[in-house]
Chain A
Amino acid sequence: QVQLQESGPGLVKPSETLSLTCNVSGGSISSYFWSWIRQPPGKGLEWLGFIYYSGVTDYNPSLNSRVTLSIDTSKNQFSLRLSPVTAADTATYYCARSAVARPGFNYFNVWGQGTLVTVSS
Chain B
Amino acid sequence: DIVMTQSPDSLAVSLGERATINCKSSQSVLFSSNNENYLGWYQQKPGQPPKLLIFRASTRESGVPDRFSGSGSGTDFTLTISSLQPEDVAVYFCQQYFTTPLTFGGGTKVEIK
Which residues of A are interface residues toward B (Cβ below 8 A)? 35, 44-47, 58, 60-62, 94, 96, 99, 104-109, 111-114
B97 adjacent to A104 (CB under 8 Å): yes
User: Residue of A at shortest CB range from B103?
Assistant: A47
State the interface size on chain B (CB cutoff 8 A): 23
- 0/1 interface trace, chain B 75-95, chain A, CB 8 Å (1 if under): 000000000000000000101
How many Cβ-Cβ contacts under 8 Å join chain A to chain B? 56
Q: Is B105 an interface residue (CB 8 A)?
A: yes
Q: Is B52 an interface residue (CB 8 A)?
A: yes
Cα A37 to Cα B103 in complex, Å, equals: 10
A113 adjacent to B49 (CB under 8 Å): yes
Given A44-B93, A94-B49, answer yes or no on A61-B101 (Cβ-Cβ < 8 Å).
Answer: yes
User: Residue of B at shortest CB range from A110?
Assistant: B52
Q: Is B74 an interface residue (CB 8 A)?
A: no
A62 adjacent to B95 (CB under 8 Å): no
Q: Which residue of A44, A45, A108, A112 is within 8 Å of B52 (Cβ)?
A: A108
B104 adjacent to A47 (CB under 8 Å): yes
Cα A61 to Cα B67 in complex, Å, equals: 37
- 0/1 interface trace, chain B 47-87, chain A, CB 8 Å (1 if under): 01111100100000100000000000000000000000000
Given A47-B102, A47-B103, answer yes or no on A111-B95 (Cβ-Cβ < 8 Å).
Answer: no
Cα A62 to Cα B3 in complex, Å, equals: 13
